[in-house]
């Protein structure tokens, strides 16, 4: 039995259904990231776990206990809010101990708990300051301290890094990961940033329009997206989703990609998924991540199935660590990720290696994966 | 066209135009200020003059021999109607009425604002709309119905008195006035607090809920301590209105010992025995105006800040 279990959770505001039957579970000590575009219901889902929103139907269990109808304070959870929600009229110490004060913990014990948390988060020197006298990163730390001090069963984070600048965000991301590793707490984390999702999570739930599109480990989500939306949403730069048709070459299937000026490319498929044969002569969406489309020398050595084709390079973007090249296939700009020192010029034709073991296929009508 | 000509004009006579503009603006402002302050000035100098000097001298002249006697007389001796014990009793009457009325109406407004924004219920907007409507009801239309209600309350007070030995203040004119001002003030105080709390971050309330704070604990520990600006605005507004109110005061406590300051002042001036003591009248009026002046001076800087609060997201 999992530590956090959400079964058939539905939430309706009047006639509008915000959450349409969510089923998610998380093991003890796990890190679940709810990710999706704005308005997909991920924050609402988090609020229902916290008890700040009621649910229409379904069940939420933590450690075997159903918490559906419990008051937020009785759920043994802690929540870090997007705006940190530090009480402006209280000092840092007051903020951290407010929850304990509400629960009637004696002052001496409160002080001990404050000191302990201050040590973990290195905010000892800030304890007597007001939130307005803190920097963004310090506020973030205090907000985490306020929740950490309760030693809850479940930690909830609602887009905690979205108010920080880019560099601080990366630092705090590492800090949260370290905190998770050292304390072993169970965390549910909401974000719209798919990089945060990939780096932090042990499990990811990709959401859209109140439904979980895919639920799995970061690697599963990244390598085996179950539909077009997940494939497009996760990964940066995004996966190339190229309109193509399925043809035959010899007795194997092949993927046919239109090129703007020249004859189409035909990539032979040695180990095509079984479902693909039904699409012979029909349009499909061919998905390949930029790192699976590279210069032949940089292609993965142990990939079993690589096809090379000449492509017309339109734009070259040197990014320092890599060089990105944009070509046009199937009427769309397609990004290839090359070594940083790859010798490539815009306006020329260059052979690119397609790592077809990593390629995925989608049905354009239903947007689901062809397996 | 003008875009081309303006720089040319500025180059030649821009500085002069600026100076003249300044002179005109400040001159006008000074004139208006003078016009506005003139009555206050006359009141102030008159209150420090003797009757002789008032009758024989210039109204605008400074007192030749400043004397505090009119102030002392207004405070302790002057006649209000038939009793000649000064206005001090009525001053305290007003304080006894204003302080509870201001505090109760402000606290209720804060509570209403808190519920209307952070604990929204079905129909909250309608309720707020109706309360807002209360702000537009003219005083005069309330006078008679309110008199009926106060009469009923008074009779109920007598019944209580006979049954339990105490009327719980029902029927007491000061309590009546507090009641009237609280009822009439709730619309305004709710409006102030509701708009302030609308911009108040809801996440703070949610965080406090997760921390285990109850409805009233959140109100007392989170909302109120962060409401200083709007609290001050509301107190100033309510204090000024209730202290200066004459209509309700004269209608419901126009006679007898509970008469508030404004009614008493009117009676001082209207008492027609012998000569009209302008200096005493002016001193009494100054005393009547002092508390509101004091509230403004002490809390005025919050007033401006409070009116601006919420306009810009901090």
pLDDT for B169 equals 79
Six-digit token string for B180: 């009237």
Distance from CA of B38 to the nearest CA of A (A): 44
Euclidean distance between CA atoms B115 and B194, whole angstroms: 9
Contact: B210, A82; criterion CB under 8 Å: no
Distances in Å between the Cα of B287 and the Cα atoms of A88, A343, B174, B238 are 40, 91, 20, 19
Read out DSSP for A190-220? EES-HHHHHHH-SEEEEEETTEEEEEE-HHH
Q: How confident is the model at residue B304 (pLDDT cuts 50, 70, 90)?
A: low
Say if residue A308's pLDDT is above 90: no
**Taking each helix axis from N to C terminus, what angle separates A92-102 and A136-148, rounded to the nearest 10 degrees?**
20
Six-digit token string for B36: 């506005």
Residues of chain B neighbouring A78 (CB-CB closer than 8 A): 210
Residues of chain B neighbouring A146 (CB-CB closer than 8 A): 207, 211
pLDDT for A253 equals 86
pLDDT for B258 equals 85
Question: Average pLDDT of B128-132?
Answer: 90
Residues of chain B neighbouring A162 (CB-CB closer than 8 A): none
Euclidean distance between CA atoms A47 and A32, whole angstroms: 15
Contact: B222, A89; criterion CB under 8 Å: yes
Residue extents of the structural domains in chain A: 4-233, 240-362
Phi, psi of B99 (to 5 degrees): -60, -55
Interface contact A13, partner B, CB < 8 A:
no
Say if residue B7's pLDDT is above 60: no
pLDDT for B307 equals 56
Q: How confident is the model at residue B301 (pLDDT cuts 50, 70, 90)?
A: confident
Q: How confident is the model at residue A30 (pLDDT cuts 50, 70, 90)?
A: very high
What percent of chain B lies above the pLDDT cut of 90? 46
Interface test with B, best of A70, A81, A91, A105 (most B CBs within 10 A): A81
Question: Average pLDDT of B62-88?
Answer: 85
Q: What is the mean pLDDT of chain B?
A: 86
pLDDT for B2 equals 45
pLDDT for B305 equals 64
Euclidean distance between CA atoms A364 and A332, whole angstroms: 15
pLDDT in tens, A194-243: 899 999 999 999 999 999 999 999 999 999 999 999 999 998 889 999 99
Rama region for A281: left / alpha / beta (φ>0; ψ in -120 to 50; rest):
left
Question: Average pLDDT of B168-193?
Answer: 91
State which of A342-351, B106-115, B275-284 shows the largest mean pLDDT: B106-115
Contact: A73, B207; criterion CB under 8 Å: no
pLDDT for B3 equals 46
- A240-362: CATH superfamily: Nucleic acid-binding proteins (2.40.50.140)
H helices within A80-184, ranges in order? 92-102, 107-121, 136-148, 166-183
Say if residue B179's pLDDT is above 90: yes
Closest Cα in chain A to B227: A89
Smallest CA-to-CA distance from B281 within B62, B46, B12, B85 is with B46
Distance from CA of B211 to the nearest CA of A (A): 4
Q: What is the pTM of this model?
A: 0.80
pLDDT for A252 equals 81
Q: Do domains A4-233 and A240-362 have the same CATH topology?
A: no
Say if residue B205's pLDDT is above 60: yes
**Which residue of B210, B211, B225 is in closest CB contact with A89?**
B225
Euclidean distance between CA atoms B6 and A104, whole angstroms: 71
Parallel, antiparallel, or unpaired: how do β-strands A31-35 and A186-191 relate? parallel
Q: Which residue has the higher pLDDT, A270 or A67?
A: A67
How many of the other CB atoms lie within 10 Å of CB of A27?
Answer: 14
Contact B67, B45 (CB under 8 A): no
Phi, psi of A240 (to 5 degrees): -75, 120
Say if residue A251's pLDDT is above 80: no
pLDDT for B1 equals 42
Contact: A73, B212; criterion CB under 8 Å: yes
Question: Average pLDDT of B159-185?
Answer: 88
Fold designation for A4-233: Rossmann fold (3.40.50)
Interface contact A154, partner B, CB < 8 A:
no
Smallest CA-to-CA distance from B189 within B153, B229, B230, B217 is with B230
Q: Which residue has the higher pLDDT, B136 or B79?
A: B136
DSSP class of residue B147? Answer: H
Question: Average pLDDT of B123-144?
Answer: 89
Size of interface A-B (CB pairs under 8 A): 58
Say if residue B61's pLDDT is above 90: no
Residue corresponding to tokens 């590279």: A294
Least confident of A47-51, A159-163, B33-37: A159-163
Cis amide linkage into residue B132, ω under 30° from 0: no
Say if residue A106's pLDDT is above 70: yes
Say if residue A184's pLDDT is above 50: yes
Say if residue B284's pLDDT is above 60: yes
Interface test with B, best of A13, A74, A80, A89 (most B CBs within 10 A): A89
pLDDT in tens, B226-264: 888 889 889 989 999 999 999 999 999 888 788 899 998
Contact: A83, B206; criterion CB under 8 Å: no
Helices and strands in chain A: count of H runs, count of E runs: 8, 20
Question: Average pLDDT of B155-183?
Answer: 88
Q: Which residue has the higher pLDDT, B298 or B106?
A: B106
């Amino acid at each position: 039995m999992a530590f956090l279990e959400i079964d058939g959770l539905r939430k309706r505001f009047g006639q509008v259904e915000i959450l349409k039957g969510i089923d998610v579970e998380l093991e003890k000590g796990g890190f679940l990231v709810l990710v999706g575009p704005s308005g997909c219901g991920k924050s609402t889902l988090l609020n229902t776990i916290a008890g700040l929103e009621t649910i229409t139907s379904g069940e939420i269990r933590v450690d075997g206990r159903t918490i559906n109808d419990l008051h937020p304070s009785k759920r043994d959870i802690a929540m870090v809010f997007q705006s940190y929600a530090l009480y402006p009229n209280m000092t840092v110490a007051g903020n951290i101990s407010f929850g304990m004060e509400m629960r009637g913990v004696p002052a001496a014990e409160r002080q001990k708990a404050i000191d302990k948390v201050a040590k973990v988060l290195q905010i000892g020197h800030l304890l007597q300051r007001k939130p307005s006298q803190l920097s963004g990163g310090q506020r973030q730390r205090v907000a985490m301290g306020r929740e950490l001090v309760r030693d809850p069963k479940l930690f909830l984070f609602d887009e905690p890094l979205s108010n920080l600048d880019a560099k601080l965000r990366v630092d705090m991301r590492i800090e949260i990961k370290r905190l998770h590793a050292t304390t072993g707490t169970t965390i549910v984390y909401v974000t719209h940033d798919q990089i945060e999702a990939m780096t932090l999570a042990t499990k990811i739930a990709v959401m859209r329009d109140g439904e979980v599109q895919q639920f799995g480990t970061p690697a599963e989500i990244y390598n085996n997206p179950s539909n077009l939306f997940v494939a497009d949403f996760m990964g940066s730069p995004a996966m190339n989703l190229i309109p193509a048709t399925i043809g035959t070459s010899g007795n194997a299937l092949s993927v046919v990609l239109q090129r703007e000026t020249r004859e189409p490319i035909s990539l032979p498929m040695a180990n095509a998924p079984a479902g693909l044969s039904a699409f012979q002569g029909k349009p499909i969406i061919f998905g390949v991540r930029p790192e699976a489309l590279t210069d032949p020398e940089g292609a993965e050595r142990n990939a079993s199935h690589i096809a090379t084709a000449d492509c017309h390079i339109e734009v070259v973007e040197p990014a320092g660590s890599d060089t990105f090249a944009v070509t046009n296939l199937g009427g769309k700009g397609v990004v290839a990720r090359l070594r940083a020192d790859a010798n490539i010029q815009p306006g020329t034709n260059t052979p690119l290696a397609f790592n077809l073991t990593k390629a995925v296929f989608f049905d354009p009508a239903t947007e689901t994966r062809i397996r | 066209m003008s875009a081309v000509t303006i720089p040319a004009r500025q180059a030649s006579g821009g500085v002069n135009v600026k100076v003249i503009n300044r002179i005109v603006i400040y001159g006008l402002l000074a004139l208006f200020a003078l016009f506005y302050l003139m009555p206050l000035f006359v009141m102030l100098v008159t209150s420090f003059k003797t009757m002789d000097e008032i009758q024989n001298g210039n109204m605008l002249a400074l007192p030749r021999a400043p004397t505090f006697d009119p102030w002392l007389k207004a405070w302790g001796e002057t006649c209000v109607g038939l009793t000649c014990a000064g206005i001090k009793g009525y001053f305290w009457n007003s304080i006894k009425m204003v302080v509870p009325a201001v505090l109760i109406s402000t606290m209720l407004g804060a509570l209403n604002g808190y519920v209307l924004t952070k604990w929204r219920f079905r129909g909250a907007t309608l309720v707020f709309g109706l309360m807002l409507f209360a702000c537009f009801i003219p005083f005069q239309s309330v006078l008679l119905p309110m008199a009926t209600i106060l009469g009923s309350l008074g009779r109920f007070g007598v019944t209580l008195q006979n049954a339990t030995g105490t009327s719980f203040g029902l029927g007491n004119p000061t309590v009546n006035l507090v009641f009237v001002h609280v009822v009439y003030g709730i619309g305004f105080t709710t409006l102030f607090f509701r708009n302030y709390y609308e911009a108040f971050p809801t996440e703070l309330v949610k965080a406090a809920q997760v921390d285990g704070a109850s409805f009233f604990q959140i109100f007392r520990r989170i909302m109120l301590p962060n409401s200083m600006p709007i609290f001050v605005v509301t107190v100033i507004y309510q204090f000024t209105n209730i202290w200066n109110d004459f209509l309700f005061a004269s209608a419901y406590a126009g006679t007898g010992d509970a008469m508030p300051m404004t009614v008493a002042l009117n009676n001082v001036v209207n008492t027609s025995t012998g000569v009209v003591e302008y200096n005493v009248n002016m001193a009494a009026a100054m005393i009547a105006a002092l508390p509101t002046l004091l509230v403004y001076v002490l809390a005025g800087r919050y007033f401006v800040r409070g009116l601006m609060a919420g306009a810009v997201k901090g």
